[in-house]
Structure 1
């Protein structure tokens, strides 16, 4: 098994051909360790000795993506009270919840406009 840093991928000679010459040979134990590290949010790097290593992921999340994800959550949270209001069985609490969610979504949409 080899690790190729340019694609951040693992290459197996039984599947992949050709394998780039600068791909790093790794053992089965290293492969398992690297996969486990990725699952914990770490990133695979190549150290000064040319071997694979795990580092903390210091990437700053893209604010636009975070806003879009939050807007999706708001949409999902809005469904039940909106359905009740549409069916005529909604309560004052449903109306208040929809208003609260819409205010939060509106603020996020405004922020999103400033980022694009």
Structure 2
């Protein structure tokens, strides 16, 4: 629903921009959950990730890893080892590059269409 509101037709508003930011955060948190599933199935799926005991440190580390990957910062302190974890990290990094580019292209298109309709 948020994606439809962000990428749908209409004027660029403050709410649309906030929705775009929210969608970016949702993407990152979705990957946190996916990394959690991989880590639960294979405890050694990531380097420097403490053993899963259900504490907040693991969740915090997965959030940190997800957003470092999504933004393609890649500090390297936590790294994926398992093939599923590596694949997810690759998909997240690609998504982290394509989403802002697609969003910017859509917003520019909407603004140009609005200017054309106003003239």
Same fold (TM over 0.5): no
Bigger relative contact order (CA 8 A; separation at least 6): 2
Whichever structure has more strand as a proportion of its residues is: 1
Whichever structure has more helix as a proportion of its residues is: 2
TM-score where L is the length of structure 2: 0.29
TM-score where L is the length of structure 1: 0.29
